[in-house]
Amino acid sequence: MAVAVVTDSTAYLPAAVGDGTLTVVPLHIVLGGVSGREGVDVTPAEVAVALTARRVSVTTSQPTPAEFKQVYDHLFAAGVDGVVSVHLAGALSGTLGSAAIAAKQAAGPVEVVDSCSAAMGVGFPALAAARAAAEGRDLKGVREAALSTISRTSTFFYVDTLEHLRRGGRINAASALVGTALAVKPLLEVSAGGISMRDKVRTAARALDRLVALAVQASGDGPVEVAVHHLAAAERAGSVAAALRERLGDRLCELYTSEVGAVVAAHVGPGLAGIVVHRLPEPDQSLLPG
């Protein structure tokens, strides 16, 4: 391909769509002072156990600019003309910044794109960019494919407690205190501004029902593809997926289910249930027969 697409390990692409068309740069997870690469050296199960036991410190760090530059330069040496690099929201991680620094030093043109999201909120635009590259679009066209997908993607999630997000600095102490003091279950949304409280309910069961309702509302009236994520909560994810199939009906074109990786796991804790909705573009009527 003339244009290569790079993303990072927080995209959490299901195996069914991770077909080698993307280059994935891993973030780092540090367990008890020992650093490892997400998806290579550290599993989400190990992080879930560490967070539950509270005996081992868990932190994360972004790839360095040098790691990104090595990947970009390898792709240019292989013959690509340009790179589109789609990453975890800049409001949540320094990953985007590292990629931007490396882009200025790379051997060829690199367009860095902020997904304004996480998990398949990164994955859907990265996959759209990869499809555009496979179709032979130029650097601008591949970048636009990613940006267009981002504009049609919404990400919601539920966690049992806000404490892990507070510790990692991903949500402010005041918001975390409200959730704890009122004994409510938080529904959150990821956007360009970071993580915000979307709703609060009293029980986990109601929270999951409301999570599905938010996703259905965000889906609009047209066709969608949806990803359901979880951490150590496969049964929860299964219930959410079943509810989405029932509520969305024929409008649901694809439904992916996957466990989040170690980096997101470190910031949300066991029990996570998340939904990423990608509203598919309507077909161009001028191209239809008749």
Pull the structure tokens for residue 223: 């066709």
What pLDDT score does 163 carry? 67
Instruction: Provide the H-helix boundaries in the chain.
Output: 44-53, 65-77, 95-105, 120-134, 139-151, 163-167, 173-181, 204-218, 234-248, 262-268
In 3D space, the residue among 160, 266, 278 whose CA is nearest the CA of residue 208 turns out to be 160
What pLDDT score does 183 carry? 65
What pLDDT score does 182 carry? 52
Q: Which CATH number does the domain 3-27+62-151 belong to among 3.20.20.70, 3.40.50.10170, 3.40.50.300, 1.10.10.10?
A: 3.40.50.10170
Over the Cα atoms of the chain, what is R_g? 19
CA distance 83 to 131: 14
* CATH fold match for the domains 3-27+62-151 and 153-279: no
Q: What sign does the dihedral 178-182-183-185 (CA atoms) show?
A: negative
Say if residues 111 and 72 touch (Cβ distance below 8 Å): no
CA distance 290 to 284: 13
Residue ranges of domains in the chain: 3-27+62-151, 153-279
Pull the structure tokens for residue 77: 């040496």
C-alpha to C-alpha distances, 165 to 98, 144, 172, 189, 201, nearest whole angstrom: 22, 32, 8, 13, 18
What pLDDT score does 168 carry? 52
What pLDDT score does 237 carry? 95
Low-confidence ranges of the chain (pLDDT < 70): 1, 16-20, 55, 163-164, 166-183, 283-290
The pairing of beta strand 82-87 with beta strand 58-61: unpaired
CATH code of 153-279, in short, is: 3.30.1180.10
